[in-house]
Amino acid sequence: MAPALFVDTGSPVHRLNPVTKLVALLSILVIVFALPQWWTSAIVVVAILVPAAIVARRARALAGIGGRILLPIVLVLVLVQGFTFPGGRTVVWQWGALSLTAEGLTFALNTGARIVALVLASVLLVVTTHPGDLMSALTEHGLSPKFSYIISSTLQLIPSFRTRADGILLAQQARGLAIPRSPLRRVRVMLPLLGPLVLGMFTDVEERGTAMEARGFGSTVRRTALEAVPDSPGQRLARWLMAALAAAAVVVPLVQELL
């Protein structure tokens, strides 16, 4: 089963080599921390991530998934740091013992902007890149095939794990047993049923290992790949440039400080 977040629209962003997108993500990570003002992150989001999402025809998915992840974090960040930031001096609003400070809000803005940029950049990578392609590309660049196997296998195992768990629940319902609405009670009902499922999956592992070994997984020869991951000299150059840009974002402020 293909992971739900990835939808192939065949856009140019989808067709980029996954390593190029990963290097872009890591470069963005370094840059938004190295240049800590909120507008660095804002520029990254407005000038890079949003256009890329539109080109990829995944802007709505990015907004939906990103919003769901970010909303609670940003809300907590603004409330907690706005009211209790240790460096807060300038009170902008007072309500009883609680005082909202400008320093706290600035801190929340800078930190929040970084989190927004990082989450959106990661989600954009995930919604435009099939994990199988990501793993193949990384394996070509020297990642151990064991990592690649574990990630691909887990991604396909989780849905079947859920299907089996749902099957158990449905069987319970078919037998006339009520499934409680409250999640805590539901867990209490599910635990004795899921126990055998979990144990069964662990004991299946023996066979899975045998089957993999039988197909040469433990072999030490140099592996080949059925399908090549498309790459281009332009992307190779772009990767180096992005890395250089990230390095510059770290080094230049340090040098300026020293001078």
Judged by CB under 8 A, the chain residues 211 through 250 that form the site for another protein are 211-228, 250
From the CB of 152, what's the least distance to another protein, in Å? Answer: 5
From the CB of 247, what's the least distance to another protein, in Å? Answer: 12
From the CB of 125, what's the least distance to another protein, in Å? Answer: 9
Site string for another protein, 120-159 (x = CB under 8 A): --xx--x---xxx-----------xxxxxxxxxxxxxxxx
In sequence order, the 6+-apart residues with CB closer than 8 A to the CB of 130 are: 2, 6, 8
Stretch that binds another protein, among 45-53, 56-64, 80-88, 168-176 (CB under 8 A): 80-88
**Quick check: 195 binds another protein (CB under 8 A)?**
yes
Stretch that binds another protein, among 3-11, 45-53, 170-178, 236-244 (CB under 8 A): 3-11
- Closer to another protein at the Cβ: 237 or 250? 250
In whole angstroms, give the CA distance from residue 202 to residue 123. 31
Among 90, 173, 210, 232, interactor with another protein by CB under 8 A: 210
From the CB of 173, what's the least distance to another protein, in Å? Answer: 18
**Quick check: 179 binds another protein (CB under 8 A)?**
no
Among 20, 27, 81, 101, interactor with another protein by CB under 8 A: 81
**Quick check: 90 binds another protein (CB under 8 A)?**
no
- Using CB under 8 A, which residues numbered 17 to 46 contact another protein? 29-30, 33-34, 36-37
